[in-house]
Amino acid sequence: MAGLRERKKEQTRCRIEQVAMRLFAERGFDDVTVNEIAEAAEVAKVTLFKYFPSKESLVLDGVKEDFAGIVAARQDGRSVVDAVRDHCALMVRADAPEVATLVRIISGSPALLVGLQALQAGQRAELAAVLAAERDEITARLMAAQLMSTVTALQELFFEGRLTDDAVKRAFDLLENGMRGH
């Protein structure tokens, strides 16, 4: 059970994030300052930066996923593709309204779009590093690139409200079996 200090820290972090997302949704990411967020969340600017190292992290931390961790933690004998497929299948059941707001905020800001690309490149590199422990580096990098491209395509379908169990199945069938005959 978390102690009082940890609960208060988590409450502060959540309050900052909620206030920031509300302001970004109302006015756009680029039109809100860190000072405005800190003031509205009733924290000092230095406190905000203790929880979020940059203004961009207020948004992008919410879309970060640990694919390297998912693959590293998979059960013995379970394939990499199956581990990522199972995780992506959860997106079909995710609550779309909050995600739609997040997508609108990110797509409305050039800085966040660049940050998202950097985040995805980092996730791909982390996944490749985990995979390289099991195979050669080039194969690991190619696998990570293909997996993350599939994940990105599924995320785009999710954001459009078009992600289904069938789409997840097809995406990973193509990944496992190739595109020959399609």
**Full-model pTM:** 0.84
pLDDT of residue 96: 64
| HSE toward the beta carbon, residue 13, CA cutoff 13 A | 14
State in Å, rounded, how far the first CA of the chain is from the last one: 52
> ∠164-168-173 over CA atoms, to 5°?
140
Distance CA 79, CA 31 (A): 45
The more confident residue out of 165 and 62 is 165
* 16 pLDDT above the threshold of 80: yes
CA-based nearest residue to 129, from 116, 146, 115, 143: 143
Answer with the residue of higher pLDDT: 159 or 108. Answer: 108
Of 52-61, 87-96, 149-158, highest mean pLDDT: 52-61
